[in-house]
A and B are shown apart, each in its own frame.
Chain A
């Protein structure tokens, strides 16, 4: 029994000491600064990024260490929370300890004060008048009241003391500001994801990290409708609806159920003439059994819908699976088959068999128009509409993928027009562009006809034969069938090589296969013949066009076409895809949040603002006027104090002194 009481007493003293320590100013100031420094971390290290990004950035060792320290989500880490809690405790103790004193200071006029103390004050004046005081008291009080002072009069024996005070609210300022900190932090705690953390520890929920269809997400990663705070998001395609949102947690997510269903009827973006977005809007329909009729409304950025305490925001947008009609233009021998149309939706993946190559087509993006700086020109202010664009990946069977982006409006370059298609093999690279020349028809048919001619072995053979005969007629007299055949085959092969690999492959061939002695003479000759053949084949491809006179445009087109074909090998894809039609479906990115602590926080904010202004701009000032009868004369003492801004008070005190002296003197002289 006695042991227990001793230990409890020592506990008590320890508790008391802890209490005092937590309430010290040193700790408070330290905490303020520690919190500031801790907050820096989360701004320097980008928070809540995909964990793979961190892994790449820091390497496995640091990645692990930082993860343990909670650095990827500092503001909901335990140690950060601990600092906040300490600060709240410290402030609470401070408020509890100081409030009685503050209230007392605010309410008390200190009219018990002794004459002695008045004389000892820093601001204290004395003077004597020789008359009775009765009449002067009221005047003095009026004067003080005029300055906003509240007054108390206290009479005893031969003495009257008028105590007055102004700005008692200053002390309320202290209480308000510090209470506000507590209130805000508590409100914030309600809105934090602390309850998620607790549930996770207890094993009640598990963060899902796999990329699953919503229906497949297991129950342990789902949160039921409730009062708890959350902030989730979801992309809803036009015409579709959802009754849940996803809450991003660390490197995974949870599915939060909503007590209603939101449908996105329509999503709109308006643009400024410069192409910058001007507004994002969604027409929503909210379905809820509690509603007699579905609720129809439009939200936009800065204008959320608040329904049943859930706030629904326009946060972002994306493609909602736009339907694309693609036209396939074969580029290589392997895909000789005539062009085919493909209907595919954005985000869809489909195996394609183009000639020998079997590739997975993955549509990644679509934009109905693109007003961008022209990437081919140096002037970044030269904005131009590149028309609709769609991005896609072509993934080979081994899993490697190149990324493409095709723009559907022709781009002029040196007076000629081209279709642009960008390609890159990793997101880290810039796009390189393929320029496909547009013919007189205004589309790719002329280019395509040329390509088809190049692949048409009959025509290629015929042209090769003519070329061969013309060439040999100048060199040899008499015919050499073997030589003829060799040369003709070589020419056919050159065309084939060129269409597959461009001039690089052709030059490589010349370098590696021709005997050293003949390289000098034969190399340029081969290239010359190749060019000639390309030209002839091109004119062959111009069906129904008069080829007897050659126009400049035709020559330029030929050159552009040859350039384009020359870069096929770098382009990599066996086909070029163009868009013939689309059915635009957008998805509206909604953020849906419930924050039960919000009004508490707002209340705290109001307290804080009022408190701060009271503290700074309502100084508490006290003045005492003490009248003491000394025989015929009356001795007066004016004393005062202020809890802030001593210099202003000094001047104020001086003017008050002059004023009161005058007032009291005046009556006296009457």
Chain B
């Protein structure tokens, strides 16, 4: 086991493990398709297969992810079978009420993410790799509870009534949870691959911010209540368009936090070479590299998401591009990062200016994600504040 910050950890898992994992996911996907064959349309079957392939690819060399998916599956299944057909159990059944009902699971996720943030920073402060490992475990747990929360919520929406049921990525509240989960998972991926636990606190800072917003949104605005879908959202496109978008948003946010860490470190290196930040954070070159990787990943998924959005718009609004504010802001975000990538790849810029740009990029992204809903009106007004 290589264990040195920045060293690439890409050792494949044993072939047996890999095959077991593939078989497990394939079996599960097959059961799912077989069981719901009557209600799934061909697109949804294709999406299920696609998701299964994605899980296989991600999990075959990543034991943490395998465990995460298995535990999520078991907990969700447990909660769902506990519910049976009775949604009111959410507040009377002990297990559901306190742990596994979607709202409870999401509260656990929130608490765990905030704890993980503090723990990561604690680990950084005391230079304790044990504490940092605890922080990783907390992050994994938070991600798991969050995903359980979404899975159970999915089921709960069907328990309200069959026609209300829908995948929980349909409004601002739900996508905020999705955002937290995806950003954390992206970070965990890079953490394992590049052994960079000292960056955890920075990335989880933005996740915690999302968590705080989502709590305010739930308690202040009752946004957590499951609402039926407006007709425009009743489409299989939503199942792929939204998650793809959030891989983009999550990756861009992560890049911005890397940029932030970069700037902090390079500032401290100039002012206090022996200081904590200057010594405990990974090499600038490594942070820079991670920042680039995150933006590349974000750009790729954002491209896919925007194209999917265009395909969907062609079906729902009568044109693949309408210059609707959300669409236009997606384009702005995309152009911004395209310019960033060119600056870096073709003009060879790196270091501080690019880190600043990545941080500024977060505000552009944030506006596309939140600002448009808050300040502008358009066809996309599904999650108004």
Contact = CB atoms under 8 A, between A and B. Distances in A.
Interface of A: 25, 28-29, 32-33, 35-36, 39-40, 42-44, 46-47, 75, 188, 191, 231, 272-274, 276-280, 300-304, 311, 313, 315, 591-593, 595, 598, 601-602, 605, 608-609, 612-613, 616-617, 647-648, 651
16 contacts: A28-B342, A32-B339, A33-B335, A39-B332, A44-B376, A272-B228, A279-B234, A301-B232, A301-B234, A302-B231, A304-B318, A591-B318, A595-B320, A602-B311, A612-B300, A647-B6
Given A43-B328, A591-B318, A280 B231 contact: yes
Interface string B318-352: 11110101001101100110110011001100000
Contacts of B316: 301-302, 313
B307 interface: yes
Given A25-B346, A609-B304, A612-B303, A36 B336 contact: yes
Interface in B366-385: 372, 376-378
A276 B318 contact: no
A142 B302 CA distance: 39
A617 B232 CA distance: 35
Contacts of B289: 647
B86 interface: no
Given A25-B346, A36-B336, A44-B376, A231 B8 contact: no
Given A32-B335, A33-B336, A651-B8, A46 B377 contact: yes
A304 B316 CA distance: 8
Contacts of B325: 43
Given A231-B319, A272-B164, A311-B318, A43 B372 contact: yes
The 6 closest A-B pairs by CB, nearest first: A301-B231, A591-B318, A313-B318, A36-B335, A43-B325, A32-B339
Which among A33, A274, A301 has the greatest number of chain B C-beta atoms within 10 A?
A301
B230 interface: yes
A593 B231 contact: no
B137 interface: no
B323 A47 contact: yes
B157 to A, nearest CB: 12
B307 A609 contact: yes
B163 interface: yes
Interface string B262-303: 000000000000000000000000100100000011011001
Dominant SS among interface residues on chain B: helix
A39 B328 contact: yes
B232 A593 contact: no
Interface in B1-23: 6-8, 10
B228 A274 contact: yes
Nearest to B378: A43
Given A28-B342, A43-B372, A188 B299 contact: no
Given A278-B231, A598-B314, A609-B307, A32 B338 contact: yes
Contacts of B346: 25
A313 B317 contact: yes
Nearest to A276: B228
B360 to A, nearest CB: 12
Nearest to A187: B320
Given A43-B328, A612-B299, A605 B307 contact: yes
Interface in B212-237: 227-228, 230-232, 234-235
Contacts of A35: 335
Contact of A304 (B227, B315, B329): B315
B310 interface: yes
A53 to B, nearest CB: 13
A73 B376 CA distance: 16
Given A304-B318, A591-B318, A605-B310, A613 B228 contact: no
A311 B310 CA distance: 15
A605 B306 CA distance: 10
A601 B231 contact: no
B228 A302 contact: no
A404 B338 CA distance: 54
B231 A272 contact: no
Contacts of A601: 310, 320
B296 A616 contact: yes
Contact of A608 (B231, B232, B303): B303
Contacts of B286: 647
A311 B376 CA distance: 28
Contacts of B304: 609
